């Protein structure tokens, strides 16, 4: 049995800004309690939240490794229409990183993640008719290709 937890980021300020309803300490407590009962854990992370840095991405991989989660699903941020984040995006209150920078963050996440942790996903999909931003207006497979190319460059597969 796998229990899936949506941490999304280790950055306390970002967690508050996106109204996750939990902080990193609460996530860590939940993982430790779930592990005590022998369940497997899959954690979801968004590595291109506009308030996060590469440092946050790497720290996320290190924390998940130290906690011994079993699987990780990485996501690229998508912005759903008619939400507070959509309003901020339309008002230009933040900028998003490029697809290439997303690929760099994914590669750095992978490089700092314990090798026993299974990566279930490197990029997600969202219905484009309900979003203002998703995968840089390219197919998810093109984003995946960018990641694969960077992994090939580093011989990091």
Per-residue pLDDT, 157: 57
Pairing state of beta strands 131-133 and 79-80?
A: antiparallel
Cβ-proximal residues to 69 (8 Å cutoff; 6+ apart), any chain = 31, 41, 42, 43, 117
Q: What is the pLDDT of residue 106?
A: 97
Q: Please list the rounded mean pLDDT of every run of 10 residues in the chain (157 residues).
A: 97 96 97 98 98 98 99 96 97 96 97 97 88 90 93 76
Number of structural domains in the chain: 1
- The CATH number of residue 144's host domain is 3.30.750.200
User: What global pTM score does this model have?
Assistant: 0.93
Residues in contact with 118: Cβ distance below 8 Å, sequence separation at least 6, in sequence order = 70, 71, 72
Dist CA 13 CA 111 (whole Å)? 25
DSSP 3-state of 147? helix
Contact residues for 155 (Cβ-Cβ < 8 A; gap 6+): none
Query: Which domain range does residue 149 map to?
Result: 2-153
pLDDT value, residue 156: 60
Query: Percent of the chain at pLDDT above 90?
Result: 86
What residues pair up with 119 in beta bridges, in sequence order? Answer: 72
């Amino acid at each position: 049995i796998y229990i899936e937890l949506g941490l999304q980021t280790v950055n306390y300020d970002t967690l508050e800004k996106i109204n996750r309803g939990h902080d990193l300490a609460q996530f860590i407590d939940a993982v430790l309690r779930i592990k005590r009962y022998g369940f497997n854990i899959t954690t979801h992370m968004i590595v291109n939240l506009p308030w996060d840095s590469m440092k946050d991405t790497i720290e996320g991989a290190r924390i998940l490794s130290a906690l011994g989660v079993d699987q990780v699903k990485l996501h690229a941020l998508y912005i759903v229409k008619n939400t507070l984040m959509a309003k901020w995006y339309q008002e230009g209150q933040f900028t998003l990183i490029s697809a290439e920078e997303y690929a760099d963050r994914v590669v750095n996440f992978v490089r700092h993640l314990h090798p026993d942790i299974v990566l279930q996903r490197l990029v997600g999909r969202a219905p484009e008719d309900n979003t203002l931003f998703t995968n840089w207006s390219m197919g998810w497979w093109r984003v995946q290709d960018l990641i694969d190319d960077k992994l090939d460059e580093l011989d990091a597969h």
